[in-house]
Amino acid sequence: MSLRNAAAAVRENAHAPYSKFKVGAAVRSASGQIYVGCNVENVAYPEGTCAEAGAIAAMVAAGETELAEVYVIADCPSPIPPCGGCRQKIKEFAGNDVKVTMATTDGAERESTVGDLLPGAFDTDHLERK
């Protein structure tokens, strides 16, 4: 299954009763396995959790920690970018050159890289005192 098909399929499972804005994400790990996630809203936290975070959590739960590719899709006028928090989560498990494809349900796509989506990202180099 392609990342696009996996993300589009899981998007249908999104729980978005407040925003009605369903988002699906699929990530490919370094091993080639595909993991999926969708957004989940609740009454106490109506903005909910993000699709990309869910896909990454599934990958980590399976014992993997390296992203090779990311795909995110929603029903919107232009390709949907990951939110700021998800960009940082993606960066935690991916190199700057990892491809991120943003898409609409109508078929529009835009490709970028993790480095282009999150320039100047906080990483472990910031934790080391020299």
Give the residue numbers annotated as catalytic, written as ranges: 52
Residue with tokens 């910031």: 126
Q: Is 36 exposed, middle or buried (0-12, 13-18, 19+ CB in 10 A)?
A: buried
Q: H helices of the chain, where? A: 3-11, 51-61, 84-93, 114-117
